[in-house]
Amino acid sequence: MEHDYWSLERWRFALVLFGGFLGGVLTGFWLVSFIIALIGYIAWLLFKLQQLHNWLEKGGKTSSVPDSDGIWERINFHIRTTQKRSNRRKERMGTLLKRFQGIITNLPYATVVLTKNNEIDWANKLSIDLLKIDIKKDRGQRIENLIRDPKVQKLLSNNKQHEIEISASHDKQLKLALQLIPIEGDLKLFIARDISERVHLQQMRRNFIANASHELRTPLTVIAGYLEMLQIDEDVPKNLIPAVNSASEQSARMQSIIEDLLTLSRLENSELTEDEIEVLSLAEIIHSICDDENALDDNSHPLDLNELDESLKLKGAELEIVSVCSNLIHNAFRYTPVGTEIKIIWKKLISGEGLFSVIDKGQGIAPEHLAHLTERFYRVDKGRSQEAGGTGLGLAIVQHIIQRHGGRLEIKSTVGEGSTFSVYFPAQRVLVTEVT
């Protein structure tokens, strides 16, 4: 027991004092006797400390534990126990580290561990093929110096977990999806996946749709022309007139779908150029669209246009911005009950972004539909949507136009309360002017 170890030390100290007392009795020099006895005890303690120091300095091996008793034996025991625990902990950590490295090394993705300064700390073998990062020579390098792409710079600066797509600098045919994942402390995982096949398939699908739409446009135009001639021909039997009118309506609908598909194809396969950009008065565009809708709607939807900033301009492609505004405002008129209010906002946020928002007080949209609204041909209520008309491609076109302008679309809705469609344009596209 620990009490016994201290008891032994107390007896040892008592013997030292007794030796000093005995020396004083025999010699008559009490102070000198006690000092010599205490110096001897201190020298013995220093010797034991030196033994302990030498043992620890040589690695504290069990085979070379210094002989000791009393409290020194107890100290040696605690050190050996701590060593055993530490060794077991190291073994467990070593096993976990090997397992982790094995998992990361064999992932089908290029994986790079970054420090808080985006310096490369570790990378698996696949990083050499996809990113041309060799850990043997690139350790300590900043990853943005090796992968020079504005999208990568933005991903690293934002430190968010969203995914970006780039073309590899060493092979433009190699398409990569990159993601940054913060982990413990200041470390981050930089992950790259080869998505070349997926991108190729998407491109094939887009080309097919574009080619098919282009080929169908001419015959549909001819069919629509003949149907129009039949509609105005007085010799057509009356029993065929409903069929001709129905065919003409469906032909017009098919032409509208094809035009929208061609528009989507054009948006997907091109970048917004400086030549297309103009300074636009979004407030004037909104007023014009609302006037047209009111004329068709017979003023059955009250409008709140009090938050339209007339001085706020937008730099963008006019036809595309008009399409965005027209689609969102038209949908609000089309899919909300007569008499419900529609509020339209165009203003500058504190962040500098421009916010265009259409808020209705209609029936709202269930949460499970919100993520799919911008998909092609997706309809919340197929029967009701087809009765209202439309191609099912409007929001897909809106999404692509907004992305071309560097913005984002957010949709919020509560069933029974209404919906809010918000477009956020980047600050560099927003311009404040004086109202004339």
This prediction has a pTM of: 0.59
Q: Which tokens hold the place of 36? A: 């010599």
Residue count of the chain, please give it.
436
Any idea which of 50-54, 95-99, 159-163, 312-316 has the lowest mean pLDDT? Answer: 159-163
The residue ranking higher by pLDDT, 120 or 159, is: 120
**CA Rg value for the chain:** 40
Helix axes 241-268, 196-232, angle to 10 degrees: 150
Dihedral, CA of residue 271, residue 275, residue 281 and residue 287, to nearest 10: -70
Instruction: Assess whether pLDDT exceeds 50 at residue 57.
Output: yes
pLDDT of residue 60: 62
Instruction: Assess whether pLDDT exceeds 90 at residue 424.
Output: yes
Q: Which range has highest mean pLDDT (59-63, 146-150, 228-232, 322-326)?
A: 322-326
pLDDT digit string, tens, across residues 234-275: 777 888 888 888 888 888 888 888 887 777 777 776 777 788
Any idea which of 13-22, 98-107, 279-288 has the lowest mean pLDDT? Answer: 98-107
Dihedral, CA of residue 29, residue 31, residue 32 and residue 38, to nearest 10: 140
Q: Which fold has domain 107-194?
A: Beta-Lactamase (3.30.450)
> Tell me, what DSSP letter sits at residue 238?
G
Can you identify the CATH homologous superfamily of domain 276-432? Answer: Histidine kinase-like ATPase, C-terminal domain (3.30.565.10)
Q: Which tokens hold the place of 354? A: 């421009």
Q: How confident is the model at residue 425 (pLDDT cuts 50, 70, 90)?
A: very high
Q: Which fold has domain 199-268?
A: Helix Hairpins (1.10.287)
Any idea which of 193-197, 335-339, 357-361, 374-378 has the lowest mean pLDDT? Answer: 374-378
Same fold, 107-194 and 199-268: no
Q: Among 27, 28, 75, 16, which residue's Cα sits nearest to residue 49?
A: 75
Instruction: Assess whether pLDDT exceeds 90 at residue 356.
Output: yes
Average pLDDT over residues 78-94: 80
CA within 13 Å, CB half, 13: 10
User: Structural domain boundaries of the chain?
Assistant: 2-96, 107-194, 199-268, 276-432
CA–CA gap between residue 144 and residue 118 (Å, rounded): 8
pLDDT digit string, tens, across residues 40-51: 777 877 877 777
CA–CA gap between residue 405 and residue 402 (Å, rounded): 5
pLDDT digit string, tens, across residues 403-420: 888 888 998 988 888 889
